[in-house]
Structure 1
Amino acid sequence: MQINIDEPDATEQFWAGMREAAAAAARHRDNSLYEAIVKIGKSALAQGIELVPSGGLFLWCPICSAQSGQQCINTPRHPLDESRLHPERTELAEKAMRGEVPLPKPFG
């Protein structure tokens, strides 16, 4: 298989793979897999790959308490947009990946 990193949707494909790995980490409650996902994500960001809105899927949601790998659910005063994640969750992921806030535990 040949990989073209200049492919128009290469960033989305990368994060799609990361979402699949996060879902597996949540399904198996595997902290080591979750920690590996975080390391890969930080490395990708350091190399210049963009964080797509679904990047918040790798952390728990501070609004609806969805765990890593789980989609958010609608809650009063916090409707979901087309990304299916609360904006606060995505913002938390961006801050955590930049090292501005400590990385929260992935599983409750």
Structure 2
Amino acid sequence: MNDDADASTAAPSEDAGSGVSDPSETDAPSDVADVEFADLSLPQRVFVAAVQNPTRGVVVAVLLAFGFSFYIALWMAFPRVAALFSVVGGVVALVLVGVYYLFGRTLD
């Protein structure tokens, strides 16, 4: 334990009428609405996560750049294989987008 545990629990003294109030006692502005994390879109969630932990955001960006460099190298070394992978990846992405919109429209 530290010495702060033995400190007096008496209320702090008044600010002698200086007009300065404790920020924790003031209410939030009425024009600012509370936003739930679930209400945010995917880009907004990514932005919030990057602001909360910028190191992780930088690491993810570096890993994406590293993976993209391997994709470019695949195109340079084996263009037919890279074209096949690109077409398959595009078809899978289209199917996923279709499923997302199909289930997104029916759940609302």
Specify which structure has the bigger relative contact order, considering alpha-carbon pairs within 8 angstroms and separated by 6 or more residues.
1
Higher helix share: 2
Q: Does the pair score TM above 0.5?
A: no
Structure number with larger C-alpha Rg:
2
Q: TM-score, normalised by structure 2?
A: 0.25
